[in-house]
C-alpha cells in the first residue's frame, strides 16, 4: 500500500472503496511491476515482517 501511495494514489475513493484505477495508481502498479521484473523485490515480500525488511537493507 505504501508503494501505491508513492505516486499519489489515494487508495480509497470518496465512498471508502479501494481504488487504484487512477492515473497515479496505474503508474504505481507499473512501477511495482518494473521492480518485480528487475528482481528488486524479494519473492514473498508481502509476507515479510519489519525485522526481515531491516535485515534486507543492512545485508544489501
| Cβ–Cβ < 8 Å for 3, 31 | yes
**34: how many CB neighbours lie within 10 A of its CB?**
11
Q: Are 12 and 18 in contact (CB under 8 A)?
A: yes
CB 30 within 8 A of CB 22: no
Helix, strand or coil, per DSSP, at residue 37: helix
- Name every residue whose Cβ is closer than 8 Å to that of residue 7 and which is 6 or more positions away in sequence: 24, 25, 27, 28, 31
What is the pTM (predicted TM-score) of this model? Answer: 0.65
Percentage of the chain beyond pLDDT 90 is: 25
pLDDT digits 0-9 by tens, 2-29: 888 888 888 898 999 988 889 999 999 9
Amino acid at each position: 500500500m505504501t508503494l501505491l501511495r508513492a505516486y499519489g494514489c489515494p487508495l480509497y475513493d470518496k465512498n471508502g472503496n479501494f481504488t487504484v484505477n487512477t492515473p497515479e495508481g496505474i503508474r504505481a502498479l507499473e512501477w511495482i511491476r518494473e521492480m518485480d521484473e528487475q528482481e528488486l523485490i524479494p519473492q514473498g515480500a508481502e509476507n515479510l515482517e519489519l525485522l526481515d525488511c531491516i535485515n534486507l537493507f543492512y545485508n544489501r
